[in-house]
Structure 1
Amino acid sequence: MTTTPAVLVLEDGRAFHGRAYGAVGETFGEAVFATGMTGYQETLTDPSYHRQVVVMTAPHIGNTGVNDEDPESRRIWVAGYVVRDPARTPSNWRSVRSLDDELAAQGVVGISGVDTRALTRHLRERGAMRAGVFSGPALGDHATLLERVRSAPVMTGADLAAEVATTEPYVVPAVGEKRFTVAAVDLGIKGMTPRRMAERGVEVHVLPATATVDEVYAAEPDGVFFSNGPGDPAAAHHPVDLMRGVLERSTPLFGICFGNQVLGRALGFGTFKLKYGHRGINQPVKDLATGRVEVTAHNHGFAVDAPVGEVSETPFGRVEVSHVCLNDNVVEGLRLLDRPAFSVQYHPEAAAGPHDAAYLFDRFTALMEGQRA
């Protein structure tokens, strides 16, 4: 383990000292915390964390090392990584290298030895904010480092989907007999998502975030999917226009996370930034139609501003809030009553768990089945 000193500087001036973890240097992003006890490899490779410095609330990170089966995308996307007690030696039969080595190889600047409990409490009280991690030659006096942090870009107003999405279309074939074709708009899609659809006999055509309506329908889809992704939904003008084009055609539609926010905007609702967001794999969500409570995976700092408990009129018919978070009553899902479309704010692909929301992919295939009939 390195003994190179490092410091995390928040934009409100508070600093946390520790040791370099991963690459040595400097990095900037929005400081957020993730509450999952496991699944750090999936978190690191989730494109929704682009331009964020992720603080892990679980104290021991890196115990199972890194393998080549669990990444959710082609690279690590977090801007920086903050942990308390990194594993000295990974131990798992699938491990092929240490997390420290993987972070260093991909140039991810991190810091260890930080009191992540105190840091998380600070972010809960003050809200997510810009941060910088500095180590080695990048270290300097506090005033200089703080000035650099405060000059970094903010997340509000950031249009980031095209920065993480695929630049070329690709196809994930159906497993077994092909039942449906889905055009999936990549706003920061996780690799497990098209696999979950493929397991249900869906051939998934993954398209860039910049795809046009004509390019979406060139795949002759039975349904259209809008993925998770990073950034401020208020700045995502192209995905919103694309979503409206799909709604106009009444094609079965399913959106998750960023896709839920895009659907909200397409229907005429606003979005807003949460104080510190929901990030982790242990968030309780209630399905308002069934009363069932699901433990779900989240990664979002923005939410849809829609009325809970009433039906709203929109240009595309009636819509209702289908799910809410039990921690803060934030909107966690939308359902159209006059068109085959719905969305959720969380991640039903269950990488790295839990599996409570896997039924949503079945709901999507049922919509396509109904439309075909």
Structure 2
Amino acid sequence: MPDTPVTDLPLRADLVGQQPYGAPQLDVPHLLNVNENPYSPPPEVIEDIAASVAAVGGSLNRYPDRDFRDLRADLAAYLERESAATGLTADHVWAANGSNEVMLHLLQAFGGPGRTVMSFAPTYSMYPEYARDSLTTWVAGTRREDHSLDPEATIAHIEQVRPAVVLLASPNNPTGTALPLADVHAIARACATTGPDGAATVLVIDEAYAEFRRSGTPSALTVLADYPHLAVARTMSKAFALAGARVGYLAAAPRLVDCLRIVRLPYHLSAVTQAVARAALRHTDALQAQVAQLRTERDACVSWLRERGFTVAETDANFALFGPFEDRHAVWQGLLDRGVLIRETGPQQFLRVSIGTEAEMAAFRGALKEVTGR
């Protein structure tokens, strides 16, 4: 039988004509488009992961621990070491299949029909899709020309819109811009009374790239205890080199975490996923051994691009946004033709390159010189 045309199915009206999210997945030598860690997990980590998965293999006929408290305790301990936050326990942590699912849980719990979520563009392109999928109204404010936030203008816009949720990425994607801690304080104080019916606005600081931030750039985790409506999201995809494992998490006040438990699907985090994540956390130092090297490659890439006259956003992440180009797609295609895949995203006329190994960055520089003549 032929496939039934989508037009003959009762697809939601707001989804008609929409395409699934996704960056190009192409088989090329140099993959620098989705901000992956270019280094594979070391052999000893792979061995521990394999042994940990094998250990739970005999019980896969049973549902996993639906509250995964051991993993949450391990994540809390890691966050305290990494960020200098204090007082974090399993009750302060939530996890899901990638930070995408964490964000969806947040909007399922606090968004919905008649409510609004807002952020400030340019920012992560999935945010409006979380809003759409949870039937939450999406509102996008703007940033300064250098992609930083103007705290006073940001607060004024939040007070005007009165959203249920505000999503702020720090470092921001696709620009790499970090949010100063003073701004987190100011925005969090304002959000205490700007939500629906006089409640708080849930302020989410998305720190997916936090481990790559430059020295002296603090985490919002250090002020978590001051704001019961603040949540700080993280992922194991980037610094832990576990993009294929799909583990994201957040830290927040236990009351906020309990709200997310209401909307999660039963047993949403598999026993295999829990085992992989806990094994990886036992090898944090080994998995993050190259983070400092990636910071060095990033800073070298930014300097090289600026020396050739490109405008490059200040970045605390493992990528760089650069341009402008009269025809960015032609540049993107020229790089692809030379085996280098980067990303068309963010402001028009700009491109984003993920930071790879020394050899991958050399290939990127060589291809860009050929394509642009710079």
TM-score after normalising by structure 2: 0.29
More strand by share: 1
Q: Higher helix fraction: Structure 1 or Structure 2?
A: 2
* TM-score using structure 1 length: 0.29
Structure possessing the higher relative contact order (Cα contacts under 8 Å, 6 or more residues apart):
2
